Amino acid sequence: MIIIGERINGMFQDIAKAIREKDGSVVQEWAKKQEQNGARYLDVNVGPGSTEPVETMKWLVEETQKASDLPLCLDSTNYDAIEAGLKICKQPAMINSVPAEAAKMERVFTLACEHGSEVICLAMSEEGIPKDSESRVALAMELVATADGYGVPIDNLYIDPLVLPCNVAQDHGPEVLETLRQVKLISDPPPKTVVGLSNASQGTKDRELVNRIFAVMAMANGLDAAIADACDDELMAAVATARILLNIDIYCDSYVDVFKQA
């Protein structure tokens, strides 16, 4: 499983402050720190309630790219902000994200074709997030079929079954895991899968424990990527260990260090 570092997000107080004060050093530090700790992509999100999402996205992308060459995961529901970000990304990016809604799929899949982007596809529609795995998988199939119609290669698609906090939506947990399994059966080759890992633990007492346990459970069900806290060493060690136990990496005595350096 690859880690998409979650930390450059205006949801965090220090990033919100950096945005307000146009202090790029904070963004650059998080970019470097996450890369050093094993992140393979960096999520970039202007945060909720941004007054100028397009300008802020451009600024965050520029500051991030000053400090890291990792590909970016442009995280916004504002597609003008995504497009502005894509135009200045130095290498192909990931668009985060699109739900199964016709007008949004048209905009995002067209952008993805123009820019050679990967796309995170959300298992939700106008009606919201369904509970049962069958409905989530049906939405995933709709997204995959529609992307194909626009010419987006299946290798560029990540299905996100949508993780909700376990303290308020406990019954969704098994449905998310089952969706991860079933998505691998909908096409050959199948799309990849991704989750927003820290969602699982929002509002819970021992967040890091919830995150790392859910991470390895999801990996056992075929999870390919997670937007997660790359600076949580216990999480990164759990992921490295699960990769060994799932026979994804070859065992060596220092595999946790190797995972970070890879």
Binding site for ligand THG (CB under 6 A): 6, 9, 11-13, 45, 75, 96-97, 120, 160, 163, 196, 198-199, 202, 227
How near is the Cβ of 204 to ligand THG at its closest, in Å? 10
Ranked by CB distance to ligand THG, the top (closest) residue is: 196
If the CB atoms of residues 208 and 249 are measured against ligand THG, the closer one turns out to be 208
If the CB atoms of residues 176 and 242 are measured against ligand THG, the closer one turns out to be 176
* Three-point CA angle 113, 119, 189, nearest 5°: 90
How near is the Cβ of 203 to ligand THG at its closest, in Å? 7
Q: Buried (b) or exposed (e) across 64-74, using 16+ Cβ within 10 A? A: bbebbebbbbb
How near is the Cβ of 195 to ligand THG at its closest, in Å? 6
- The full length of the chain comes to 262
If the CB atoms of residues 217 and 256 are measured against ligand THG, the closer one turns out to be 217
How near is the Cβ of 149 to ligand THG at its closest, in Å? 22
If the CB atoms of residues 110 and 202 are measured against ligand THG, the closer one turns out to be 202
How near is the Cβ of 120 to ligand THG at its closest, in Å? 5
How near is the Cβ of 194 to ligand THG at its closest, in Å? 6
If the CB atoms of residues 120 and 183 are measured against ligand THG, the closer one turns out to be 120
If the CB atoms of residues 12 and 255 are measured against ligand THG, the closer one turns out to be 12
